[in-house]
């Protein structure tokens, strides 16, 4: 007993002495090395980012394939991008493309029922997903490398032989109807949706919304026809990344997709024309239950392939984030915003939007809008400071590496560039352009692309609580009715 107590005492004493020595050393270091302010820190330059090795080839049927080996984990991920999108669906059947993307996966294949497909995937902790968005369709899979052949075979079935089960279509339509019924629950969603309509126009493919009436017109035959129009090998790009041998992967791709017949007349639909539907104006959605206003301000924008994209992205850095003009002025100094932002938001193959906005209390709505417009005009009237330019460029360049977080992300980006007709080195060219951007470049971009006289202002808020009223901003304030049209069977 005594020996154990003695040993315990010695052990405690040693620990105490060690702690004392460490404390003295740290205290000495603290007195000899003065702590620097974060603005005085000097970080090494960013390392060069290089693309991982990859292989690109084309099957005889026109399917483009990218392969990128990555043996870090025993996983394989694949993704096909299909040249389609809901922007090409008929105006009286809005929601068709989305349903094709959903039921293509949930509706089983010609060889397997939906339950059999689900069971095969669940047993292997694998996934197969399909989706059609605004300007692209996608079909993806994920599997352990040991199950690659089985899962890839099922993936090929889903792509080539979807059954579009009628009961799964009805389920998907019911689920979409539920989304319609809830679409006014979130004021931010209302603002985003209605802002697009004011900018692009209510009937524009880039602003249309699915309604009960358009859902009701969609049949299984419509899904099959849409699928047949767009899903064939010479209308898609397949990319696979992960733990595989490239030669064996090529053989597997050839076995599953090589005999898929190409379309002799691949569809080449024209892109919908885009113009700003309304030259300017103030628009309002009355939501009496709200205690704050959700605000969007902006106008039609441009595309990523603009020669001034890098300068516009640096401009985003000047406006946004902690240390950005809108945060410093509108939120911190004036105390007008819970959140505030402003950015040039381009698209790949059609004009995006310049958007600014945020949330503020009802009685600060007008002042908030005026303050944002003032900051927009300042960008045009005077060059950004050297400090602002350095901050914006550093923020942009420091985030560059996050475009290469993993091989799947890199491969997806390469495929996306080919899909939209961009050069494979687009991102690297952009980085060099950001590094070369000057304060004069930012001001010129602001003067060329920002259009204060063409700004659309949309407010979602409580009309009675907004004081001073929005009429201080314009002689006419256009009210927007967001009442959800009733399903066809409920209409008299």
What is residue 338's predicted lDDT score, i.e. its pLDDT?
83
Find all residues with CB under 8 Å of 379, minimum gap 6, and list them: 315, 318, 319, 442, 443, 446, 450
In whole angstroms, give the CA distance from residue 287 to residue 464.
10
CB neighbour class for 228 (10 Å; exposed up to 12, middle 13-18, buried from 19): exposed
- Given this model, what pLDDT does residue 5 score? 42
Distance CA 203, CA 196 (A): 11
Extract long-range pairs of 115-119: CB within 8 Å, 24+ residues apart: 117/154, 117/158
d(CA 205, CA 85): 10
**Cβ-contact 427, 404 below 8 angstroms:** no
Q: Is 250 exposed, middle or buried (0-12, 13-18, 19+ CB in 10 A)?
A: middle
Question: Distance (Å, rounded) from C-alpha 368 to C-alpha 427?
Answer: 35
Structure-block tokens of residue 31: 């007195």
- This prediction's pTM: 0.88
Structure tokens at 147: 């199950």
pLDDT of residue 485: 95
Which residues are registered as beta bridge partners of 64?
58, 237
DSSP SS3 for 451 = coil
pLDDT given at position 319: 95
pLDDT of residue 399: 85
Q: Give the other-Cβ count within 10 Å of 433's Cβ.
A: 17
pLDDT in the model for residue 38: 54
DSSP calls for 186-201: -HHHHHHHHHHHHHH-
Helix axes 309-319 and 365-381, enclosed angle (nearest 10): 130
CA distance 467 to 479: 17
CA distance 253 to 232: 15
Element (H, E) at 248: helix 246-257
Q: Which residues contact 325 (CB under 8 A, 6 or more apart)?
A: 318, 319, 375, 378, 388
> Measured between alpha carbons, how far is 402 from 408 in angstroms, rounded to an integer?
12
Residue 95: CB atoms within 10 Å? 24
Take residue 67 and report the two structure tokens written for it: 């392969």
* Nearest residue to 408 (alpha-carbon basis) of 73, 58, 59: 73
Pairing of strands 75-82, 236-242: antiparallel
Structure tokens at 452: 């204060």
Digits of tens for pLDDT over the chain (492 positions)?
434 444 454 445 444 544 444 444 444 444 445 666 656 766 666 667 788 999 999 999 999 999 999 999 999 999 999 999 999 999 999 999 999 999 999 999 999 999 999 999 999 999 999 999 999 999 999 999 999 999 999 999 999 999 999 999 999 999 999 999 999 999 999 999 999 999 999 999 999 999 999 999 999 999 999 999 999 999 999 999 999 999 999 999 999 999 999 999 998 899 999 999 999 999 999 999 999 999 999 999 999 999 999 999 999 999 998 889 999 999 999 999 889 999 999 999 999 999 999 999 999 999 999 999 999 999 999 999 999 999 999 989 988 888 888 899 999 999 999 999 999 999 999 999 999 999 999 999 999 999 999 999 999 999 999 999 999 999 999 999 999 999 987 544
Residue 86 is classified by DSSP as G
Neighbour-count burial for 47-73, b at 16+ CB within 10 Å, e otherwise: eeeebeebeeeebeeebbbbbbbbeee
- Provide CB contacts within 8 A for 284, sequence distance 6+: 458, 459, 460, 461, 463, 470, 477, 478, 479, 480
CA distance 117 to 98: 20
């Amino acid at each position: 007993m005594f020996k154990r107590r003695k040993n315990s005492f010695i052990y405690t004493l040693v620990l105490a002495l060690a702690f004392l020595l460490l404390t003295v050393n740290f205290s000495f270091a603290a007195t000899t090395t003065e702590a620097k302010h974060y603005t005085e820190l000097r970080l090494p330059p960013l390392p060069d980012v290089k693309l991982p090795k990859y292989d690109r080839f084309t099957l005889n049927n026109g399917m483009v394939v990218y392969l990128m080996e990555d043996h870090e984990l025993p996983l394989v991920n694949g993704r096909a991008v299909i040249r389609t999108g809901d922007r090409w669906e008929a105006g009286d059947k809005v929601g068709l493309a989305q349903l094709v993307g959903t039921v293509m996966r949930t509706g089983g294949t010609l060889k397997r029922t939906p339950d059999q497909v689900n069971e095969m995937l669940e047993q292997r902790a694998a996934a197969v997903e399909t989706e059609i968005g605004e300007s692209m369709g996608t079909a993806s899979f994920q599997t352990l490398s040991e199950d690659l052949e089985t899962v890839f075979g099922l993936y090929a079935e889903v792509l080539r032989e979807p059954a579009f089960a009628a009961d799964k279509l009805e389920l998907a339509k019911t689920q979409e109807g539920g989304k319609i019924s809830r679409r006014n629950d979130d004021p931010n969603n209302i603002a985003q949706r209605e802002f697009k309509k004011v900018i692009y126009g209510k009937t524009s493919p880039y602003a249309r919304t699915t309604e009960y009436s358009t859902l009701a017109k969609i049949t299984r035959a419509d899904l099959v026809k849409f699928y047949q129009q767009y899903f064939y090998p010479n209308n898609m790009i397949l990319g696979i990344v992960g733990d595989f041998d490239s030669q064996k992967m090529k053989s597997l791709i050839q076995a599953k997709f090589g005999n898929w017949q190409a379309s002799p007349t691949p569809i080449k639909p024209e892109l919908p024309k885009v113009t700003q539907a309304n030259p300017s104006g103030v628009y309002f959605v009355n939501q009496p239950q709200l205690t704050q206003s959700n605000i969007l301000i902006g106008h039609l924008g441009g595309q990523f392939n603009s020669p001034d994209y890098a300068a516009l992205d640096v401009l985003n850095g000047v406006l946004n984030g902690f240390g950005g003009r809108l945060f410093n002025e509108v939120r911190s100094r004036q105390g007008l915003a819970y959140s505030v932002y402003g950015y040039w938001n381009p698209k790949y193959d059609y004009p995006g939007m310049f958007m600014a906005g945020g949330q503020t209390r009802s009685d600060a709505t007008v002042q908030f809008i005026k303050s944002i417009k003032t900051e927009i005009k300042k960008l045009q009237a005077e060059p950004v400071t050297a400090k602002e330019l350095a901050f914006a460029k550093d923020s942009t360049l420091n985030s560059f590496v996050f475009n290469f977080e993993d091989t799947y992300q890199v491969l997806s980006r390469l495929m996306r560039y080919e899909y939209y007709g961009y050069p494979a080195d687009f991102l690297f060219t952009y980085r060099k352009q950001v590094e070369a951007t000057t304060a004069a470049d930012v001001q010129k971009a602001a003067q060329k692309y920002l259009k204060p006289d063409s700004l659309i202002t949309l407010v979602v808020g409580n009309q009675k609580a907004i004081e001073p009223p929005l009429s201080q901003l314009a002689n006419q304030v256009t009210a927007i009715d967001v009442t959800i049209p009733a399903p066809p069977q409920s209409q008299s």
